[in-house]
Structure 1
Amino acid sequence: MAMSVGGDSDSTMSDINTTPLVDVMLVLLIIFLIAVPVVVQSLKLKLPNVRFDPTVTKPENVSLSIVGQGNDCQVYLGTARINHDDLLKFAVAKLRAEIARQGGVNNPDLELPEAHIRADVSTPYQCVGGAIYTMQQAGFSKVGFISEPPAEENSARL
């Protein structure tokens, strides 16, 4: 508690007592310093294996394969290796040709081709992300991944 020393004894003290406010703030600071690390911890989760419907491949779709180690990214269009600039030029030309074949952008039934990407398990994400960016930059709105479903141990294929 604050105490007035000196001055008129008949006058009232008009200063705000901030000591209780500081005490409460210090207690809250200590509580948050203890509680925040507990909340921020990450949990180890085993995510479910999800099976999707088989992808329907159309002749107008673009299929890319990506292999990479470190900073060396190799992108293949079919079986031919292609660099970033050539991939962008090819994708733009492919998209324009498909739009023209279907009657132009004013066609209400226009179905744009998709880009399907297959990537090796050990491929760094920067390689895959670069291919996705290139295809989206070319105008492909649908970019998907082709994966192999996990093998089933106790089921036989029909």
Structure 2
Amino acid sequence: MAFGSFDNKSSSHAVSEINMVPLIDVMLVLLVIFIITAPLLSHSIKINVPQASSEPVQQDPKVIDFAVDAEGQLFWNEQPVTLDQLPVLMAAEAGTDPQPELRIRADVDTRYEVLAQVMSAARRSGLKRIGFVTRPAPSESRSPAAAGVD
């Protein structure tokens, strides 16, 4: 493999091979740098940290079960309430720590207007955690028609 010669008789064509020597030199220099700096990075300083003997406080988050039936009747933890009582109840719960989660269960035939009023009252009172309780739909694979059974 001749890269060049002083012979003018040979045809001058471009060398199509990549010179790997500079790349290998750079890689070896980087390897040496990492070998030298790696032990310095794992050096640690011993510090005496104060010890505390307290245990973490276990707080169980409270859950408010709110239900709306098909007729639009409201239930706060299974107790019937009116729409006018909701802001007072929600404001009292919003001031507690940790703030409870409001879980709304609504009948399929419940009017959206009632749910919108409940969610609006919850936001105005300061409740931040609002969720909906749903029931999973029956899967099609369980029905006899989907399984091909007549």
What TM-score comes out, normalization by structure 1 length? 0.47
What TM-score comes out, normalization by structure 2 length? 0.49
The higher-RCO structure (CA 8 Å, 6+ apart) is 1
